[in-house]
Amino acid sequence: MTGRTVIAMGGGGFSMEPENPRLDDHILSIARESRGRDRPRVCFVATASGDAPTYIANFYAAFAQRAEASHLALFTRTIEDIDAFLLDQDIVYVGGGNTENMLAVWRVHGVDRALRRAWEQGVVMTGLSAGSLCWFETGTTDSLGKGLAMLSGGLGFLPGSHAPHYDGEASRRPLYQRLVSEGVMPAGYAADDGAALIFRDERLADVVASRPDARAYRVERGSDGVAVETVLPARYLG
């Protein structure tokens, strides 16, 4: 299994499901197969939370025994050559928080360019919430503090739009469908908490779930201007 890989979790992983490691285990298994290391190198990027110490500590608690864990801090930067550091990883795991702030900080430090180079070299890109949304062109975000809004611009590794936490908040689904139906937002993918979309070379290859009822969806604008939501088959990892 080679090529460019993005695993976009609507929600889940160690920070949302500390007693349910199914999604994180699956990410590690993909990296082992594609990168050839029994203990993958996993870098946590917690920029969206302002490099929250507790968040970073929880990452190490979840991964240190089964992977070579590290993190990239930007608010108190310790890594000089970010390009080389990220290229040396097997997985880049992006945490949740404020997506707009995260992307702005990344661009100041050149992390956006370094991530693209690492992704193009086969490093697995993953994350939840902000760490799921950032890989797409745009999507729905709560970064601006007044309910949900349209993301000004993601990294664009994946074409189209994305809505994480699709079942997590009452306003997520109707806003995403409205923006797509109005043609304001391009068609894209939504994911419930506990669901992960796996893309290889920008194409959806698989959908997996840590919960039996977690789903993912393709959302497009129909010919009549109404949003069409298609449920994507998901493999429960339990």
Q: Which residues are catalytic?
A: 129, 165
Cα dihedral 143/149/154/156 (nearest 10): 160
The stretches of the chain forming alpha helices (DSSP H) are 13-16, 22-35, 53-63, 82-87, 99-109, 111-120, 130-133, 172-181
Contact 49, 97 (CB under 8 A): yes
Provide the token pair at 44. Answer: 């946590």
Burial of residue 135 (CB within 10 Å: 0-12, 13-18, 19+) is: buried
